[in-house]
Amino acid sequence: MAAPSATATALGTSTVEHFRSALERALAEADADERLGPLLSATHLRMRFEFTDAGLGLNVAAGEEGHNLTWSFGAATWPARLVLAMPVAVANRFLQGAESLAIGIARGQVRCDGESRAALQYLPATRLLSGSYRRVVERDFPDLLVA
Amino acid sequence: MPEREEQISLTEAAEISGVTPSTLKRWAAAKVIPVRKGRWTRTAAAQARVVARMRERGHSLEDLRRAVRDGRLAFGYVEDLLPGNRERAIPRSEAAERSGLEEELIERFMTLLGTPTALEGTLSEQDAEAVEEMAKVLEAGFPLVALLQLIRVYAQSIRKIAEAEVRLFHLYVHEPLIRQGVEALEMADEMEGLARELLPLTSPLMEYIHQRYLRFYIEQDVVGHMEVDFGGLRQLGRVTMAFCFIDLTGFVRYTEEEGDEEALDLVERFVETVEATLPSEALIVKTIGDEVMIVSPDPVTLTEWAVGFLALFTERPQPRVGLHFGKAVYRDGDYFGSEVNLTHRVVARALGGEVMITAAVVDAIGTSAYLEFDPIGRVELKGVGEPVELFVARAREPED
């Protein structure tokens, strides 16, 4: 994982902390959601997000032992089938459903590495997280809210 | 426990089912319709109607008896939940008098709705009430030509919804019960119970989805009007849009090699991924097998989407895209015209992994910080008179 860039400093520590906390809470909500949790788990998710300007990585996988999802921040702990790398601002917009991932790729703001099959399997599932993330942001982190 | 169903006469059962009384008696004796101790009911008559259709299709009474025993002909619950027309038939002339509409127009409405009574010249009370509603829409000033299109779209869409509801109920409720060997009457009870719970939920759910989409398209329309006013693209009866076709190259071969289920699974995931990644202003018009038709008022974001989307696919079967910007006639929820046909020809010329676009798209985009266009020259396309100038769109290389 690369060290935080100059842009990360510009982002401000509180923004990155809020973003990380919002993600953490959204994942916890999705995991506990009776409808969403099993849907995400059924995709056998095994992917990693890299937030390039914050020196932050997130591993997300289908859960075990009573959990639908499992996740950890930090270095990659297992080989991901799909890696999405993007700045925090783009990720924040994408996770709120306000940014098209494909457009981000065309604009060079998002990098996607992995198998095509994994992209087909995981991207619609990732979109499912938007509802939880948006709710958390609206409720707890209005500074991250995008129109 | 459901209430005991009202008894009807054999003559009434014959009228409802369209089967003669003597045949009904014979079928009851053969146990292909549920008549206990000579007690005729609407459920039995409804099942007789299904049996008649099955007999017309060449099924023997023995086949039907087995189907009844296995619960495969469980149908009677529908009669309770969705009672058919039990009122008198209303002549078209009476409906015309009530609504103030011409008989010919009423016939046209009924034909569009796929109502069988259109051919018989009579309407049910429900049909007549619907005609009165349509008359009110016209009285309010909505043009007839638009109403006719709207009715056709309603009928086509709702027919698809009803078909999906029935097929999915069959696949995920009826079939599992049959596989479990549940006894026929118990199966009918279970299905009725579930259908009774589900049915009242469908209308509010559809209303909710309808309102959400209405709001979305009204907003789109407002934006579209403003852009047309500024850009001078107005032309009566036509809309200016970016049209896009995307499909999977080598899909036929993939199906042969991997099998139907795997191929269907791929197509479903492909369409879901298209949907999940499209910009909010773009929308899927239709899917035909592995092909998806998309429209957007914004050629810039749609081209960017296409370039970024194809970058997700490094393995076969790779998608390819054809894009054009032009005018088309919008009718019945779809887009028609030579410019749509041209877009279809453009995608046919693209290779897997390529976004092929016309000069109209390049002109509409102008200078882009993110995209580059490689000209491939003027290309003859099947069914298009003049050769068409085509380009391959790709992401601009980052500057060092």
Asked if the structure places residue B3 within a domain, the reply is no
Q: Does B314 sit within 8 Å of A124, measured CB to CB?
A: no
On whether both B310 and B187 belong to a single domain, the answer is: no
On whether both B163 and B134 belong to a single domain, the answer is: yes
Q: Which of B157, B184, B217 is the last residue of a domain?
A: B217
Distance between A106 CA and the closest CA of chain B, angstroms = 4
Residue of A nearest to B394 (CA): A106
On whether both B248 and B375 belong to a single domain, the answer is: yes
Residue of B nearest to A121 (CA): B269
Q: Does B269 sit within 8 Å of A105, measured CB to CB?
A: no
On whether both B160 and B247 belong to a single domain, the answer is: no
On whether both B273 and B314 belong to a single domain, the answer is: yes
On whether both B97 and B65 belong to a single domain, the answer is: no
Asked if the structure places residue B4 within a domain, the reply is no
Question: d(Cα B344, Cα A115) in Å, to the nearest integer?
Answer: 28
Q: Which of B188, B217, B246 is the last residue of a domain?
A: B217
Structural domain containing residue B55: 10-81
Nearest to A102 among B309, B371, B398 (CB): B309
CB pairs under 8 A between A and B: 80
Q: What was the pLDDT predicted at B365?
A: 95
Which range, A80-84, B30-34, B51-55, B162-166, is most confident? Answer: A80-84
Total number of domains in chain B = 3
Asked if the structure places residue B102 within a domain, the reply is yes
Which residues in chain A are closer than 8 Å to B277, comparing Cβ atoms?
A: 100-102, 123
Question: d(Cα B99, Cα B108) in Å, to the nearest integer?
Answer: 14
Asked if the structure places residue B120 within a domain, the reply is yes
Q: Which run of H or E residues covers position B331?
A: strand B319-331
Which pLDDT tens digit goes with each residue over A99-113? Answer: 899 999 999 999 999
What's the distance, CA B281 to chain centroid?
22
On whether both B198 and B266 belong to a single domain, the answer is: no
Q: Are A49 and A60 in contact (CB under 8 A)?
A: yes
On whether both B55 and B127 belong to a single domain, the answer is: no
Q: Are B391 and B359 in contact (CB under 8 A)?
A: yes
On whether both B155 and B274 belong to a single domain, the answer is: no
Asked if the structure places residue B63 within a domain, the reply is yes
Contact residues of B toward A, CB < 8 A? 266, 269-270, 272-273, 275-280, 301, 304-309, 311-315, 369-371, 395-396, 398
On whether both B65 and B106 belong to a single domain, the answer is: no
Q: Does A106 sit within 8 Å of B304, measured CB to CB?
A: yes
Task: Quickly count: other Cβ atoms within 10 Å of residue B55's Cβ.
Answer: 17
Residue B258, domain CATH? 3.30.70.1230
Which pLDDT tens digit goes with each residue over B143-198? Answer: 888 898 888 888 888 888 888 888 888 888 888 888 887 776 677 777 777 777 88
Domain A20-144 has CATH 3.40.50.300: no
Which pLDDT tens digit goes with each residue over B278-312? Answer: 998 898 998 888 899 999 999 999 999 999 999 99
Distance between A7 CA and the closest CA of chain B, angstroms = 18
